[in-house]
């Protein structure tokens, strides 16, 4: 059976081929009546847009690339990424754009990402989990518009972003522990070359001041295993600690495992607080008291910024969203 063409759509709609072409290429100046007739004709004929041909005219690829700057295994371990991917696919589909997922956890991965983007295969770049000093950030300069889900640090060129107020969230959790009467409050941070790692530690220190000593701080890398290791380290170093703020729910799950292994009761002996309010928070035993960051809204705002830049906006302002304390049984 012959594949329907743009000429077939024009004939069925009773309009010129040029009118059909203008509509398919996003021209706003097509009359409502013609638009309805063309959309009906597309449905009736089963016409499918030839993206390769259209890209030659529009200079658009019809795709956005999401770049996760983490090792491959983290994509499947951390539930936050699935939320971001789900929102991105939905919002891009509304614009008839496809999502391409790429990982940039090492030098080889980064080189592949740069070749792909500079090769003109994407209309925009969505950056996830960027690290300070990441050479990928500069390598992508001069290409299609890029935005970040989460702030970008340690770089002179500003990349637009949407993010939760990490420092505020950390203050909320630490103040809650103080209000409970906890005296030896420790923290497990995220990586200290990421905005979440730095700003959540800053919020912790804002509340405790000089009490936020190095003995009460251990570092993780967002994985559950790192949370378990850091909690074990803290217990060895400061066995009388009575609360721990963990910079992600996934690491907090690891901290709970270490506390169980050490015979510490939660929250009787040690109160535990996480950050994210991800699906992990309600699956742990006990369920986590945590800081809710509005991840779906962050993803929506990030995509909104990127789509505005793709559509020709010369500048967009960063978006910072508030956090919320969610009290459950771990503290």
Instruction: Identify the residue whose tokens are 């309805």.
Output: 36
Largest CA distance in the chain: 81
Nearest to 216 by CA among 195, 190, 188, 256: 188
C-beta separation of 253 from 227 below 8 A: yes
Give the class (CATH, top level) of 166-292.
alpha beta
How distant is the alpha carbon of residue 50 from its chain centre? 31
Domain 6-58, CATH 1.10.260.40 — does that match? yes
Residue 160 DSSP symbol: -
Q: Give the confidence band of 263 by pLDDT, cuts at 50, 70, 90.
A: very high
Look at strands 290-292 and 243-246 and give their pairing: unpaired
DSSP string across 24-59: HTT-S-S-HHHHHHHHHHHHHHT----HHHHHHHH-
pLDDT at position 254 is 97
Instruction: Identify the residue whose tokens are 């009118």.
Output: 19
Compute CA distances 187 → 131, 173, 228, 233, whole Å: 21, 11, 13, 11
Same fold flag, 6-58 and 166-292: no
Give the class (CATH, top level) of 63-164+296-321.
alpha beta
Q: What is the pLDDT of residues 110-164, one digit of tens each?
A: 888 888 888 778 888 888 877 777 777 777 777 788 898 888 876 655 788 999 9
In sign, the C-alpha dihedral spanning 193, 194, 199, 204 is: negative
DSSP string across 248-259: SHHHHHHHHHHH
Task: Output the six-digit token pair for 321.
Answer: 């969203």
Rounded to two decimals, what is the model's pTM?
0.76
C-alpha–C-alpha distance, residues 152 and 275, integer Å: 19
pLDDT at position 240 is 94
Identify the burial level of 75 via C-beta atoms within 10 angstroms of its C-beta, where 0-12 means exposed, 13-18 middle and 19 or more buried: middle
| Ranges of each domain in the chain | 6-58, 63-164+296-321, 166-292
3-state secondary structure of 126: strand
Can you tell me the mean pLDDT for 21-50? 80
Look at strands 290-292 and 324-326 and give their pairing: antiparallel
Q: Which H helix or E strand runs over 241?
A: none
Among 9-23, 229-243, 265-279, whose mean pLDDT is lowest?
Answer: 9-23
What percent of the chain clears pLDDT 70, i.e. is strictly above it? 91
């Amino acid at each position: 059976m012959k594949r329907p063409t743009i000429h077939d759509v024009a004939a069925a709609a009773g309009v010129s081929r040029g009118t059909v072409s203008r509509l398919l290429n996003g021209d706003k100046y097509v009359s409502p009546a013609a638009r309805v007739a063309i959309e009906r004709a597309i449905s009736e004929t089963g016409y499918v847009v030839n993206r390769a041909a259209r890209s030659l005219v529009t200079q658009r690829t019809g795709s956005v690339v999401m770049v996760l700057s983490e090792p491959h295994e983290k994509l499947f371990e951390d539930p936050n990424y699935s939320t971001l991917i789900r929102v991105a696919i939905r919002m891009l589909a509304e614009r008839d754009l496809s999502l391409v997922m790429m990982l940039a956890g090492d030098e080889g991965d980064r080189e592949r990402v740069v070749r792909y983007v500079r090769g003109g295969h994407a209309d925009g770049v969505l950056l996830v989990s960027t690290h300070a000093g990441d050479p990928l950030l500069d390598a992508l300069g001069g290409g299609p518009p890029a935005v970040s889900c989460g702030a970008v640090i340690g770089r002179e060129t500003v990349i637009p972003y949407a993010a939760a107020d990490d420092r505020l969230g950390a203050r909320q959790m630490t103040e809650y522990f103080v209000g409970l009467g906890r005296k030896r409050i420790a923290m497990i941070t995220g990586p200290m070359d990421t905005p979440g790692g730095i700003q959540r530690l800053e919020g912790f220190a804002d509340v405790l001041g000089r009490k936020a000593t190095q003995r009460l701080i251990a570092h993780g890398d967002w994985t559950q295993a790192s949370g378990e290791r850091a909690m074990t380290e803290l217990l060895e170093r400061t066995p009388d600690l009575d609360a721990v703020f963990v910079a992600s729910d996934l690491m907090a799950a690891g901290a709970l495992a270490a506390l169980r292994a050490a015979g510490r009761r939660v929250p009787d002996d040690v109160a535990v607080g996480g950050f994210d309010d991800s699906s992990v928070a309600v699956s742990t035993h006990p369920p986590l008291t945590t800081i809710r960051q509005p991840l779906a809204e962050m993803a929506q705002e990030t995509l909104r910024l990127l789509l505005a830049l793709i559509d020709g906006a010369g500048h967009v302002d960063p978006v910072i969203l508030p956090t919320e304390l969610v009290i459950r049984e771990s503290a």
